[in-house]
Structure 1
Amino acid sequence: MATDLINPARIDFVTLRLFCAVAQTGSITKGAERCHLALSAASRRMSDFEAASKAMLMERTAQGVRLTPAGHVALQHAMRLFQGFELFSNELSEYSSGSRGHVRLWANMSALVEFLPTALAGFLKRYPETRVEVEEQLTGDIVRAVVEGVADVGIFVAGAPAHGLNVRPYQTDQLVVLCAQSHPLAEHDEIDFKNCLTHDFVGLNRGSSLLNAIATAAQEAGFPLRLRVQVRSFDAMCEMIAANLGVGVLPLGTCARKLKPWGLKAIRLRDAWARRELLIATSANRTLSTSAALLVEHLTRA
């Protein structure tokens, strides 16, 4: 019957802690001392606890108190409650300290390939209970996601509108022209981008900041961009370029390991726009969680 249930509002953790202390010491006086309570207050709490429990939990004797069978059952449940509360407190403490949490990080392809693997590995080694959910997205989508709260942290190329965001420098990447070793451009070590525009290009799909950058540079140079192949990843670009289907512009860090094995040549671009700054962004209107703030600090220092 519901009317026979103990009213939890009449029992608090101070009383439960006192009951456990009395049971362990066999004395209300010693239990009160352990819990830093006056004896009169402790006696009143034990009486109220028994009244709320609707059972006699302790037998008072000249030697102290001893638990009744009902008291032993009450002690077992009280200990479980304290263990649960301790776990609850410890886990919340881990979240507040940042050692446990969930962070949603959206980054462009360049950051994801060049810089984040090592940086995230270091962060997760230090905070193994933190889950970092990483998505590769286009710059415009990253900005919107951080502003709208879909992502906690964003990383993208400087130059995108950043209204509603707090931004800070993250890394810089150097763009190069990538071609097959047999391509006519392979004789160069450095080149101006306009001198590449008589050749076919392999590029990323529309909407990428990198494609927009080279399209703008081609327009400013007064040449059309001869985009022959469009793909979705840097690896696919390298495959197409290695097959001599065109040249491409990529961050050096995304293709450096593939140069010799794939028969590719990276040619440094002299153009100022070819050195790009990556930014870390967070919302200017939301407070970061401790875990997200720790991640931003780690990435900035890395």
Structure 2
Amino acid sequence: MHFDLQDLRLFIHVAEAYSLTGGAQRAHLSTAAASTRMKALEGQLGSRLFYRSSQGVELTPAGDRLLRHARAILRQVEHVKSDFSGYADGAAGHLRIFANTTAITEFMPEVLARFLATRPGITVDLQERLTRDIVRGVLDGTADLGIVAGVAKAQGLQLLPFSLDRLVLAVPRGHVLANRPRVSFQETLAYPHVGLHDGSTLLQFLQDQVKDMGRSLPLRIQVLGFEPACRMIEAGVGIGILPESCALRYQRTLAIQLVELSDAWAQRERSIAVRELEALPSCGRALVEAIFDHEGFSPPSTTTDKLSSVQ
């Protein structure tokens, strides 16, 4: 069975546009030419790939399966081009990273600043996503790698733990909970909360926890970022659950106090998620190593062996 890469690219364009015409425009083809190519692809696979209607097109189960493979194939083609682009030691290429809120705001800016400073030929697309979307993106090839915290297991996903992420309760000074050595998350639900914006991984994680309790998170205000959250907490607007690393930093300049959470899930393992470490381009493996170096964690021996070829 022979696959034409142009047909796979066109198929992805049509699937993402939910329209044969829209996909054809993205591929700079006429609608008629695009339709002929897609029918030929269906004939070659012996499977119907689209449900067609006056509103556009929708993937069939077979089409959904092909979309995952097509994205992975084209990403791998880009990796091959990157590795043989003429730059030495993986200094060229493009990486797409899906990460949680904490990673994007706390340590990835510094990691990427150092990483990219010596690699002018590399570009990076860093996107904040929910954990489930990070996992899905890595599995279907939309992202080269993901950064998650806590449980994120899925068949076909390789997790590389690199640090620990503890969640704590932040309260204004003088709050009734301020002098408690430990509190449970359930106890905090008696007080109004300061939360992050919709779409943040931390907010979604906390909402999942209260949903399991049959409760709802008592949000009084939502903000865009950890610093405004800490300022709202300092002002007495509410209390909030935050990563300890950022809460400690803001505690130096703001009148907030931190209280340990007694819940087992409060301490979470941060991991890099990849489909297959060895399949990453050399610049991707170099970034994985840079994250481990920044966090001061030693990668597992199997990971070290696979990364050794980067140097």
TM-score, normalised with respect to structure 1: 0.62
Give per-residue Cα distances to partners, 1:180-235, cap 9 Å, x unaligned.
Answer: 11322222343232332211111224454423433344456676532222233222
The residue aligned with 2:292 is: 300
| Distance (Å, rounded) in 2 between the aligned partners of 1:285 and 1:130 | 18
Of 60, 68, 93, the match for 2:86: 93
Which 10-residue stretch deviates more, 171-180 or 110-119?
A: 110-119
| Distance (Å, rounded) in 2 between the aligned partners of 1:175 and 1:150 | 29
| Distance (Å, rounded) in 2 between the aligned partners of 1:129 and 1:224 | 47
SS of the aligned residue for 1:268 comes to strand
Give per-residue Cα distances to partners, 1:233-286, cap 9 Å, x unaligned.
Answer: 222322322221111101011222211422111112122110011111122499
| Distance (Å, rounded) in 1 between the aligned partners of 2:277 and 2:236 | 48
SS of the aligned residue for 2:177 comes to helix
Of 260, 266, 271, the match for 1:268: 260
| Distance (Å, rounded) in 1 between the aligned partners of 2:115 and 2:153 | 29
| Distance (Å, rounded) in 2 between the aligned partners of 1:126 and 1:189 | 45
| Distance (Å, rounded) in 1 between the aligned partners of 2:139 and 2:215 | 36
Question: What amino acid does structure 1 have at the position aligned with 2:108?
Answer: L
Please report how far the alpha carbon of residue 167 of structure 1 lies from its aligned counterpart in structure 2 after TM superposition: 1.7
- Identity, in percent, stands at 37
| Distance (Å, rounded) in 1 between the aligned partners of 2:267 and 2:280 | 30
| Distance (Å, rounded) in 2 between the aligned partners of 1:126 and 1:188 | 47
The residue aligned with 2:235 is: 243
Gaps of 5+ in 1: 1-90
| Distance (Å, rounded) in 2 between the aligned partners of 1:189 and 1:259 | 17
TM-score, normalised with respect to structure 2: 0.60
SS of the aligned residue for 1:187 comes to coil
Q: Quick check: 1:189–1:266 contact (8 Å CA) kept in 2?
A: no
| Distance (Å, rounded) in 1 between the aligned partners of 2:216 and 2:105 | 29
| Distance (Å, rounded) in 1 between the aligned partners of 2:131 and 2:224 | 14
SS of the aligned residue for 1:105 comes to strand
Return the index of the structure with the highest Cα Rg: 1
| Corresponding position: 1:129 with 2:126 | no
| Corresponding position: 1:149 with 2:127 | no
| Distance (Å, rounded) in 2 between the aligned partners of 1:220 and 1:142 | 22
SS of the aligned residue for 2:170 comes to strand
SS of the aligned residue for 1:92 comes to coil
Of 150, 163, 178, the match for 2:170: 178
Q: Quick check: 1:123–1:295 contact (8 Å CA) kept in 2?
A: yes
Q: Quick check: 1:106–1:153 contact (8 Å CA) kept in 2?
A: yes
Give per-residue Cα distances to partners, 1:102-122, cap 9 Å, x unaligned.
Answer: 222221111122222332233
Please report how far the alpha carbon of residue 155 of structure 1 lies from its aligned counterpart in structure 2 after TM superposition: 0.4
Q: Quick check: 1:173–1:276 contact (8 Å CA) kept in 2?
A: yes
SS of the aligned residue for 1:262 comes to coil
Please report how far the alpha carbon of residue 174 of structure 1 lies from its aligned counterpart in structure 2 after TM superposition: 1.0
Question: What amino acid does structure 1 have at the position aligned with 2:86?
Answer: S
Question: What amino acid does structure 2 have at the position aligned with 1:94?
Answer: Y
Q: Residues 1-302 of structure 1: matches in 2 within 5 Å?
A: 92-94=85-87, 97-218=89-210, 224-284=216-276, 287-302=279-294
Give per-residue Cα distances to partners, 1:146-183, cap 9 Å, x unaligned.
Answer: 22322211101232343332221122111110111132
SS of the aligned residue for 1:254 comes to helix
Distance 1:104 1:213, change over 3 A: closer
The residue aligned with 2:12 is: none
Q: Quick check: 1:157–1:209 contact (8 Å CA) kept in 2?
A: no
Give per-residue Cα distances to partners, 1:7-36, cap 9 Å, x unaligned.
Answer: xxxxxxxxxxxxxxxxxxxxxxxxxxxxxx
| Distance (Å, rounded) in 2 between the aligned partners of 1:179 and 1:140 | 30
SS of the aligned residue for 2:163 comes to strand
Q: Quick check: 2:96–2:125 contact (8 Å CA) kept in 1?
A: yes
SS of the aligned residue for 1:203 comes to strand
SS of the aligned residue for 2:86 comes to helix
Q: How many residues are treated as equivalent by the alignment?
A: 212
